[in-house]
Structure formats: C-alpha cells, structure tokens
Amino acid sequence: MSDRQQVTNARGERIAIVAGLRTPFAKQATAFHGVSALDMGKMVVNELLSRSELDPKLIEQLVYGQVVQMPAAPNIAREIVLGTGMNLHTDAYSVTRACATSFQSTVNIAESIMTGNIEIGIAGGSDSSSVLPIGVSRKLAHALVDLNKARTLGQKWNIVRRLGFKDLLPVPPAVAEYSTGLSMGQTAEQMAKSHGISRADQDALAHRSHTLASQSWNEGKLKDEVMVAHVPPYKSFIERDNNIRDNSSLESYAKLRPVFDRKHGSVTAANSTPLTDGASAVILMSEGRAKALGYTPIGYIKSYAFSAIDVWQDMLMGPSYATPLALKRAGMQLEDLTLIEMHEAFAAQTLANMKMFASKKFAEEKLGQSRAIGEIDMSKFNVLGGSLAYGHPFAATGTRLITQVCNELKRRGGGTGLTTACAAGGLGVAMIVEVE
C-alpha cells in the first residue's frame, strides 16, 4: 500500500480552498464580551459569503465547531445555517477536536467533496472565553434533580439543608485535561522542564511572535483575511486583533512572574496564549466547481494527518507526531516546504516541538524512523507571528492558520505550507497546502 494520500475527488480534481476569513481575535472579556461563539460564527460566515459573492443557496454542507460548548446551541453548525440565509436544506453538523477543531471541520468538508457527496461546503470554528457555560457544583446539580422529584416540603428541606455555601458557588469550565486534571499551562511547564526550554528562549519566541504580528498588521497583510466585526448591540466595532503588542520590549517579558509553577516555573502570561474570543471559516470546493464558478482558489489541500499520544507526558507534542505523517502522505520532506505555521499554544510547547523536529533520537524512539523530521528554518517559521500574539480562540485557530498560510504563500509567489497544531487529549494535526 502506498503511503501517499490522494486528496482529490473521483474526477481527480483537488480540494480547493476558495476563500478564508476570520473575525479579529479579542482577549477574554474585551471587545467580544457578551458575544457568543454562535454569534461570532454567524458573523464570519455571513461576511465570508458576501465577500465571495457566493450565493448562500449553493452551500451544500457546513461543518463547524466549538471547544467550549454552548449548551443552548450544541449543534452550532446548524444554527449558523439557519442564521445566514443559506438553503434550509443545507446539511450541517458540529465537530470538536480541542484546539484542532477547525482542522477537523475542514477535513470533514474536504472528505465530503472527495467522496463526491458535495461540491461546495464551509468549514470553521468559533470560541468564546467570555460567554461561558458557567456550571454548578456536582452536589448542587444532584440536589436540583432531587428537588424536582421531591413531593413534600419536608423532603425538599431535607435536600436543601445538606448543601453548604461552597456547593452554591458557580463553576467555570476548566482549561484542563479531564483525565489528568492538569491544566494546559501545567503541561507546558512539564514540557519546558523535561526538554530544557529556558525562560529566555520562551520570552524571545513570544517577543518575535508579537513583533512579526504587529509588522504584518502594519504592512496591511492581514486586512483582507480579517473582517471588521460590528459587535452586537452594534454600538462598537473591532477591526484588529487586540492582544498583539506593538513595540513591546523583551525586558518587559522578563519581568513577569511564572503563572503555573510560581516557584520553579518559566511559563508566564507573555509566553502563553491568552484566553481569546473569535471565529474563522473557509469555503471549500472541488477544483472543477471552483473554476466553473470563476474563482481563483487561495490554495489546495495536499495532505493531512491526525495523531494521538499519551496525556501524562508531553501532551502538547502533537505537531511532532502528525507532521511526519502529513509529509509522508504528501511525498515531501520538511526542507521542501516553503512555509511552516505551527500553532503556538505556549512558547515552551512550541520550542519543545521544534527541538523534537530536529532530534534523531526522537525520530528513532517515537516515530520509528532513522531520520529526524528536520531542523526548522526560522526564515520559514510563523513568518507573520503566531498564536502567542494573535491569541487562540480554540476552535478558530485551525482555519486561521490555513487561510493565513495560503495568503502568505500567494504573496511569495506560491509553494507549499505546513500548518500544524497540538490539541488537548494528546492530539495533533498537520495539514499541507499548496498554492500556485
């Protein structure tokens, strides 16, 4: 069996990324405070359709995702269809794959096109860290169910009197691994310590990310892929990511105290992604349909791969496992790539992955191959900055990366780009796109 992946439909046509768009990304409880993931998703899909001058009725399927679920709209994809003037008969379902969610929705649409089930679809993801499903304690939840069943006042009183003050406190969703209880930040700390990633290197990567992202905005490189978002109730708007620090000094990073291990740690607010609100989406079509409708695609999907590893150790090492698979499936080596876009969940996690890319020992022991994935050439790496600067609305990051790398490849005259991310649950993803 060949290792190569054929990302085409039965007519041999490639999967075209026709257009991509995102909202500006806003730090938690700032510009998008009170705006739900669903509202941001509708906003970006509406605008994407309108900018592409694509009749919404032509969309056959929409796959969308969120990581922090909205209990009121568990199938966010269908709500977006119903809220954007698409054909009511447009199929829509939601996926969740932690921080790789919109990679997954993109792959789902791509595979629907590959099988010939559809010709045109939309994929994406949205997350709000400001509109959260605030829960109740287990004891209170238990009591509320029992109260519903209690008949007499006495029975009700018996249930209520067992509750303490602490049981009544609200419980926000945790950015932590369910099975280990470790927060993502604690995992980043573990990776920094296990792989000898220094605080200075983490801060330098974060500073690079902010500097490049700020330059990219100032040079107008992002304006076509980031919409101006008018924020309900439409008294304000946001037109630029608000986490990016223009002209930040490296010294200011060094002053911050570690957050996740206050005594011996190195992971700080500056070298972590902030909690962020935002949404993104892409339109995918079969190459033939895109051409027939007169579109010049921004790129094509060349290969993709997902990976899964243990959650106790190095859980955010996904790129180092998924990338060699995607490269093999594309018939490529790391050095063949024009650009590399790696999601920066934390500087420590990014640097640990970069180290493993270059490690022969890692390749032999973990990947079962004799050759290291390859040394990353920094002139190709996150050239417009990364998630440390832009922020990371979990489900929206995948389609941000895909769109951003396609547009940057276009500016550079074409080539191939790797997008890759780690995700909770020990998951990883890599997708290679090609641009003419």
Neighbours of 78 (CB within 10 A): 17
**Active-site residue flag, 422:** yes
Residue with tokens 């419980």: 171
Our CA angle for 52, 97, 310, nearest 5°, is 145
| From 210, 343, 406, 422, the catalytic residue | 422
For residue 274, the minimal CB distance to ligand ACO (Å) is: 4
Residue pair 403/44 in contact by the 8 Å Cβ criterion: no
| From 99, 195, 210, 343, the catalytic residue | 99
Report CA Rg, the chain: 22
CA 347 distance to own-chain centroid: 16
Q: Which residues bind ligand ACO (CB under 6 A)?
A: 99, 175, 184-185, 206, 210, 245, 248, 252-253, 256, 259, 269-270, 272-275, 316, 345, 392, 422-424
Identity of the amino acid at 187: T
For residue 285, the minimal CB distance to ligand ACO (Å) is: 29
Q: Tell me, what DSSP letter sits at residue 167?
A: G
Identity of the amino acid at 427: L
| From 207, 210, 392, 406, the catalytic residue | 392
Closest CB to ligand ACO among residues 270, 285:
270
Helices (H) and strands (E) in the chain, counts: 14, 12
Neighbours of 2 (CB within 10 A): 7
Burial 171-208 (b: 16+ CB within 10 A, else e): eeeeeebeeeebebbbbbbbbbeebebebebbbbbbbb
Question: Where does residue 111 rank: exposed (0-12), middle (13-18), buried (19+ CB within 10 A)?
Answer: middle
C-alpha dist (Å) from residue 310 to 173, 180, 186: 22, 11, 15
Closest CB to ligand ACO among residues 89, 262:
262
Closest CB to ligand ACO among residues 9, 243:
243
Task: Tell me the DSSP string of 31-46.
Answer: TTTT--HHHHHHHHHH
For residue 426, the minimal CB distance to ligand ACO (Å) is: 10
Cα torsion 136, 142, 143, 145: sign: positive
- Measured between alpha carbons, how far is 149 from 90 in angstroms, rounded to an integer? 41
C-alpha dist (Å) from residue 323 to 36, 53, 109, 422: 33, 35, 21, 11
Give me 377's structure tokens: 């050439």
Q: Tell me, what DSSP letter sits at residue 366?
A: I
Closest CB to ligand ACO among residues 94, 273:
273
For residue 188, the minimal CB distance to ligand ACO (Å) is: 8
**Active-site residue flag, 343:** no
Closest CB to ligand ACO among residues 252, 369:
252
Closest CB to ligand ACO among residues 185, 415:
185
Residue with tokens 């020992």: 361
Closest CB to ligand ACO among residues 240, 410:
240
Q: Which residues participate in catalysis according to the annotation?
A: 99, 392, 422
